[in-house]
């Protein structure tokens, strides 16, 4: 990757990614100190704003012709750090989130290593796949439910966590399959 110019560093989509990175410690602080429904709602608003900006940074990059190598790297880093922070915060309230943490770390670790291996071979993943997008949707649906519904019955919370963990595991397997075929130069 060549050194980005100042103009490439400060594109509108990249500024949105920087903003999302700044929202992470704010969310963690709000969530970990939350004691009332209002406090948890504030934490959810921060994650909502982060998700909203994530939704538009890629579209803006394409529409404004501001796609940069830095942005291609920065956007998923902001996504994964946000997801990781949310999962670890939820683990302070819900014991079964530990399973989600393990699957998340395995999936993201695999994706990082496999992506680097493919990059060294001159190949790269052509954007997020449908199952990755569905997984992200399920993740945020479960996260918002667990953050906003402060008095959620534990059985329902555990079922939602299991759903999210299962979806993440499915996505992990599907991406492993994609990378396997990429490594063997087959169509996937």
pLDDT in tens, 139-169: 989 999 999 998 999 999 999 999 999 999 9
Domain boundaries along the sequence of the chain = 1-90, 95-188
Higher-confidence residue of 60 and 79: namely 79
Residue 150's closest CA among 32, 35, 70? Answer: 35
DSSP 4: P
Topology given in CATH for the domain delimited by 1-90: 1.20.120
Q: What is the pTM of this model?
A: 0.84
- Give the pLDDT score at 1: 58
């Amino acid at each position: 990757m060549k050194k980005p110019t100042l103009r490439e560093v400060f594109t509108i989509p990249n500024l949105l990614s920087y903003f999302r990175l700044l929202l992470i410690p704010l969310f963690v602080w709000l969530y970990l100190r939350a004691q009332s429904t209002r406090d948890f709602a504030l934490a959810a608003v921060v994650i909502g704003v982060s998700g909203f900006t994530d939704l538009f940074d890629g579209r803006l990059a394409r529409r404004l012709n501001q796609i940069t190598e830095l942005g291609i790297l920065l956007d998923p880093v902001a996504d994964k750090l946000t997801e990781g922070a949310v999962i670890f915060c939820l683990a302070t309230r819900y014991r079964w989130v530990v399973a989600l943490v393990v699957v998340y770390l395995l999936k993201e670790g695999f994706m990082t290593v496999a992506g680097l291996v493919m990059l060294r071979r001159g190949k790269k993943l052509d954007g997020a796949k449908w199952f990755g997008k569905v997984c992200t949707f399920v993740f945020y649906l479960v996260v918002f439910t667990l953050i906003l519904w402060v008095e959620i019955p534990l059985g329902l919370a555990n079922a939602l966590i299991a759903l999210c963990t299962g979806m993440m595991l499915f996505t992990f397997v599907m991406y492993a399959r994609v990378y396997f075929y990429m490594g063997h130069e087959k169509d996937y």
